[in-house]
Amino acid sequence: MKEKRETTRLHYDTIIVGGGQAGLSVSYHLQKLGVDHMIFEKHRVGHSWRNERWDSFCLVTPNWQCQLPDFPYPGNDPKGFMLKDEIVEYVEAFRRKVNPPIMEGVTVTKVCRGDKGLLYVSTSGGEYSAYHLVVATGGYDIPIVPDYAHSLPPRIKQVHSVNYRNPEQLPEGEVLVVGSGQSGVQIMEDLHLAGRKVHLAVGSAPRSPRQYRGRETTEWLYDLGFYQLTIDKHPLGDDAKHKTNHYLTGRSGGHEIDLRQFALEGVKLYGSMANIRGTTLEFQPDLSKNLDDADEVYVSIRNDIDRYIADHNIDAPLEPPFRKVWEPEFDPISIDADQENITSIVWAIGFRPDYRWIQLPVFDGRGYPQFDRGISNEEGLYFIGLPWLHTWGSGRFLGIADDAQYLADVIQRKLAVKQAAEV
């Protein structure tokens, strides 16, 4: 009987999975601390920005919020909003600054617990082990398309937002965009500005002012401490991690998006998508509620800013109170795609993460990783780049630097303790 031999594994003290801005930020801090590590990137640096955004895509938050470690936005338009190619260049320039140890085109296929507390990492490029592993893959792995979408006749083209590029890729006719999060409303506007007839299934996403009382709203919110608010202080607690971001846009210098105004301009609004039966598209009777709820958040942000201005005796111009410019006469619950000449549907209802390659007990019932400031309950396993990892800014360019430094410090201390114990 032949003796079973363990596969030879190349060892690193720390492995980072994902070479986007989050993984590069961790590498930057680990290098400063002298920690041996390697990044595995499935594609190439900047892939999601380069290959998974539409042509007119731009940042929703202003450029001054791009604050990667020791690498703030380098351009001359801090209050502007970088376009897709500019974002790619910013991330690639950061990569050049970091000069990380990285293997691109390498997919991690399995992480499990090995001998002596090590983490075993299987990849398309070989077998590895590490004391620490940082998951920096983000949470946008699998595009969500509901099962009932399969009942649509093939003549109606279906595209997920991750594959949408421009209005010209869609066939002639009217377009239904499903979802009113940031991607959905921006794609709706992209189509509308191109002269396409657009229908929009409006979900429960909140909205935000772009400018208010003489200043960009994100500047007010930064001063109010919203971006520094930690998850443990959030009134929703961990549920905040699953809330949809406010919708607005950085297009053409930035502006807010009022779906009621778009309705006046000809965009047809419906409630949340409920079902599809052949060419019959069914909606929840919640259009009025969803519009009202989004406006309630919009007004609450204005009220927070008003209080801050009053409390600090700031001289700021007054603005008229909010008013609704349009109200639906009723909540439509179904339409026929053929009768409306809808020839394509853009699904913009989000993504779900795919952590099946992590064979460790760190996930909740929804498959979401459990952690405290990125540190999981499984020794040596960490997460970064996710919404509300620690603060509202965690999933953005603004908060990654602090999160990366925190995890790098934790890893370095644990390695130092281990080395001391082995002496």
> Which residue spans of the chain are classified as CATH 3.50.50.60?
10-141+353-422, 144-347
Per-residue pLDDT, averaged over 319-334, amounts to: 96
> Which amino acid would we find at residue 235?
P
* Predicted local confidence at residue 6, as pLDDT: 52
By three-state DSSP, how is residue 253 classified? helix
* Predicted local confidence at residue 285, as pLDDT: 97
Checking if the pLDDT of 3 tops 70, the result is no
Checking if the pLDDT of 125 tops 50, the result is yes
Checking if the pLDDT of 14 tops 60, the result is yes
Q: How far is CA 2 from CA 5, 7, 114, 190, in A?
A: 9, 15, 22, 64
> Which amino acid would we find at residue 188?
M
* Predicted local confidence at residue 393, as pLDDT: 87
Rounded to the nearest angstrom, the gap between the alpha carbon of residue 277 and the centroid of all alpha carbons in its chain is 31
Residue with tokens 């795609």: 337
* Predicted local confidence at residue 143, as pLDDT: 95
Mean pLDDT, the chain, rounded, equals 95
CATH class for domain 144-347?
alpha beta
Helix (H) / strand (E) containing 291:
helix 287-311
What percentage of the chain exceeds 70 in pLDDT?
98
Per-residue pLDDT, averaged over 84-103, amounts to: 98
* Predicted local confidence at residue 7, as pLDDT: 60
Give yes or no for a contact between 400 and 394, defined as CB atoms under 8 angstroms apart: yes
* Predicted local confidence at residue 130, as pLDDT: 97
> Model confidence at 365, in pLDDT bands (50, 70, 90)?
confident
Region of 278 (left: φ > 0; alpha: ψ -120 to 50; beta: rest) is left
What percentage of the chain exceeds 90 in pLDDT?
88
CATH second-level architecture of 10-141+353-422?
Answer: 3-Layer(bba) Sandwich (3.50)
Rounded to the nearest angstrom, the gap between the alpha carbon of residue 385 and the centroid of all alpha carbons in its chain is 9
User: Degrees (nearest 5) of the Cα angle 97, 95, 80?
Assistant: 90
Per-residue pLDDT, averaged over 324-341, amounts to: 96
Sign of dihedral through CA atoms 208, 183, 145, 356? Answer: negative
Per-residue pLDDT, averaged over 388-406, amounts to: 93
